[in-house]
Amino acid sequence: MSSAVTSTMASDMMPLLAALFLTPILASTPIAFAWAFRKDAPWARKLPILSVFGLFVSFLITLYILFNVEEGTKYVYPWLPAFGIDFVFIFDYLSKYMGALTGLIAFLIGVYGLEYMKDDYRLGWYWFCFNLFTASMLLVVYSDNLLMLLIGWEGLGIASWGLIGHWFRDDDELSYVGNMGRKVFGLNYFWSPSFGGWRAISTIRVGDMPMFFAVAAIYAFAGNLNISEIHWETLFETLGAAGTAILLIAFLMGPFTKSAQLPFSEWLMTAMTGPTTVSALLHSATMVAAGTYLFMRISWYIEPWAFSNAGMDAVYAFVLFLGLISSLYAALLAAGMWERKVLLASSTMSSLGLMFAAAAASKWLGEFAVEVSFWYLIVHAFAKATLFLVAGHLIHVTHDRFCGGDTEVAKKMKLTFLVTAFATISLAGIPPFTAYWVKSAMDEVMHGLIEHGMALPLTLLITISIIYSAFLAKFLSLNFLKGKKVHLHLHGGGLMGAAYTVMVSMLLVLLYLIMTGQEEVAGEFFHEGFVSTSLAVGAAVTVSYFFALIKPSIPQLSTVGRVLSDRLYMPFLNDLIVPKIGWVLVAIVDVCNRGVDFFFHQAIPAFFESASKSIRKIQKGYLASYMRVTLAAVMVLLVISSIVGW
């Protein structure tokens, strides 16, 4: 499927594609200007509906592309003809489904945001950044040209900074992460929205820079930036094993930081300072999903299973184990978390690690591994968006960002409880619900690696799956069944409830596609669900889920839980060690700058000034004086010559 690409110069699609990317941005412009000049006007707060309408238009266009544009079609528009660089949009298997996923989730979260954000003090900023975020992700999804993709990639970064730090006043405890005022070994263990936004964009920039250089290197050696057209095997042969490894690692630094893989995970935790709508979009179909999606896209066209290169083999093995280790680390953190959104953020990091690992397994098991990873991304996106929207609703009615709620909450918020229960069961991998069939295929992928001498991946996957199921049950139990007593402030919630109800229903649609074989790839997962290994893992996951549901916290393990909730002290790396190293480097650079400044601005001018004064002393203006100086110099040279024997 990955090789069948048809290039088309079709002007009839240009208006549609322009509308796809520009409508969300243009639709959010009125509220941005209104908030800048007339935010006190009564009509200003009614303008968000225009922003949501723009999201709806983009969603409709993604549906049109999904159902009407032939798979493998590519549209090309001139951009920089002198350099052979064009606007290139590709509609392959991955981009068609990912585009529709992004469009739908962004629209539903937009509907949710109409109610959730209605009283916010910064609506113009919020809606413009939110729609820019969506448009940027769509550009990443459909771009075949790497330079064009980088434009969307940077749009994601800028918009995420604006959204994560949206509540920049830092005046509301509900917008913080961590316990206010808490210190661990002298380090502040709480983070404000303004700090969260800065940390996100600064961490991501660490990965973006080597990625940019990698794209430049691809253009220099391949002479082409279109992912589907680059002769990857020839490129890797030209670079050799070491060059291939360096190029791929440099390129993947962007996806690693964007998708918060170790050691770049901390920004994702403190990104929970942003509005819940932002967290839901960021963790489901944009931003963090962009990193894993790009790795899948690259693997889809590199086809690493079709040839061997020592450097590429090493990189894919590295990604496989980095993904699994990151996933295990994040799953353990989630098991110890008490903050609603941070628990879900940890679970997202765990899922992203599994996506990287499954896609990396394609090196040994072929295209099917990429398809498994992609379908897990889709299932995870709908389930995680649902859970984040539920978390936002709970924070809204309890005025508390920490898990809390007993059966009274379940009774008074029946729909929310049922939605949460279905989302957690569907994502946990409990048979016969949606994620079980995809996880079964993933089990089979990891099992297939045993034939290639790698038994550890399957062991890690099973361990992660059991822990993953437990913390999802913990989330449900501590918020609706066995959590602390909370006081509910029930009001509104109609739009919010409708949004996450429609969102979670998409898991039923996916389940239907899998069990009926309506979608060819998804139909293969159904057969994997009846393999003995999958059934055994499904049983273990089910036991883990219901055990954690009954006993969501274990007092005897409170010390371990505290260490896990402190994120194994990873914040010290970001907030203490790296800054200290940075200040040492700054000091070294400062000393060098002072040295250069002294040499060029003081030492050299002083030398010439001194020499000038000495010369002026002998400039009497008399020929006889100059003759005596010359004669003296000649005599000195003669004496020296006689001494050295010239």
Q: What is the pLDDT of residue 5?
A: 59
CA distances from 503 to 50, 473, 511, 539, 638 (A): 21, 19, 14, 27, 99
Q: What is the pLDDT of residue 522?
A: 81
One domain for residues 488 and 630: no
Q: How confident is the model at residue 3 (pLDDT cuts 50, 70, 90)?
A: very low
Q: What is the pLDDT of residue 173?
A: 92
- Residue 526 CB-density burial (10 A; 0-12 exposed, 13-18 middle, 19+ buried): middle
> Could you give the maximum distance between any two Cα atoms of the chain, in Å?
114
- Within-domain flag for 429: yes
- Residue 615 CB-density burial (10 A; 0-12 exposed, 13-18 middle, 19+ buried): exposed
The structural domain count of the chain equals 2
Using CA atoms, how far apart are residues 2 and 374, in angstroms rounded to an integer?
A: 14
| In contact, 315 and 244? CB cutoff 8 Å | yes
Using CA atoms, how far apart are residues 126 and 93, in angstroms rounded to an integer?
A: 32
Tens-place pLDDT, residues 177-221: 999 999 998 899 999 999 999 999 999 999 999 999 999 999 999
Mean pLDDT (the chain) is 92
One domain for residues 401 and 458: yes
One domain for residues 595 and 448: no
Distance from chain centroid for Cα 634:
77
Tens-place pLDDT, residues 360-406: 999 999 999 999 999 999 999 999 999 999 999 999 999 999 999 99
**Is it true that the peptide bond before 263 is cis, omega within 30 degrees of 0?**
yes
Shortest CA distance to 261 belongs to which of 324, 210, 311? Answer: 324
Using CA atoms, how far apart are residues 388 and 419, in angstroms rounded to an integer?
A: 12
One domain for residues 104 and 138: yes
Q: Is 442 left (phi over 0), alpha (psi -120 to 50) or beta?
A: alpha
The 8 Å CB, 24+ separation contacts for 26-29 are 26/54, 27/51, 27/53, 27/54, 27/55, 27/57, 27/131, 28/54, 28/127, 28/128, 28/130, 28/131, 28/132, 29/128
| CA angle, 393 then 280 then 489, to 5° | 10
Using CA atoms, how far apart are residues 18 and 80, in angstroms rounded to an integer?
A: 18
- Within-domain flag for 203: yes
Using CA atoms, how far apart are residues 299 and 362, in angstroms rounded to an integer?
A: 8
- Whether the per-residue pLDDT at 4 is higher than 80: the answer is no
One domain for residues 558 and 596: no
One domain for residues 219 and 266: yes
Tens-place pLDDT, residues 67-125: 999 998 999 988 888 887 889 999 999 999 999 999 999 999 999 999 999 999 999 99
> Which of 168-182, 313-327, 565-579: highest mean pLDDT?
313-327
- Within-domain flag for 315: yes
Tens-place pLDDT, residues 211-249: 999 999 999 999 999 999 999 999 999 999 999 999 999
Using CA atoms, how far apart are residues 66 and 100, in angstroms rounded to an integer?
A: 7
- Within-domain flag for 207: yes
Tens-place pLDDT, residues 577-620: 888 888 888 899 989 988 888 888 888 888 888 877 776 665 55
Q: Which residues have a Cβ under 8 Å from the Cβ of 391 and sit 6 or more positions away?
A: 276, 279, 340, 341, 344
- Within-domain flag for 574: no
Using CA atoms, how far apart are residues 109 and 111, in angstroms rounded to an integer?
A: 5
The reported pTM is 0.91
Domain boundary among 539, 569, 599: 569
One domain for residues 610 and 556: no
One domain for residues 165 and 308: yes
One domain for residues 314 and 417: yes
**End-to-end C-alpha distance for the chain, whole angstroms:** 85
Element (H, E) at 474: helix 456-480
- Within-domain flag for 238: yes
- Whether the per-residue pLDDT at 8 is higher than 80: the answer is no
One domain for residues 594 and 555: no
Shortest CA distance to 480 belongs to which of 426, 423, 428, 549? Answer: 549
- Whether the per-residue pLDDT at 2 is higher than 70: the answer is no
Q: What is the pLDDT of residue 619?
A: 59
CB atoms within 10 A of CB 492: 13
CB atoms within 10 A of CB 372: 30
Tens-place pLDDT, residues 268-292: 999 999 999 999 999 888 889 999 9
Q: Which residues have a Cβ under 8 Å from the Cβ of 620 and sit 6 or more positions away?
A: none
- Within-domain flag for 576: no
- Within-domain flag for 575: no
One domain for residues 503 and 631: no
One domain for residues 460 and 601: no
Q: Which domain range does residue 638 map to?
A: 581-644
Tens-place pLDDT, residues 484-513: 999 998 877 899 999 999 999 999 999 999
Domain boundary among 547, 569, 591: 569
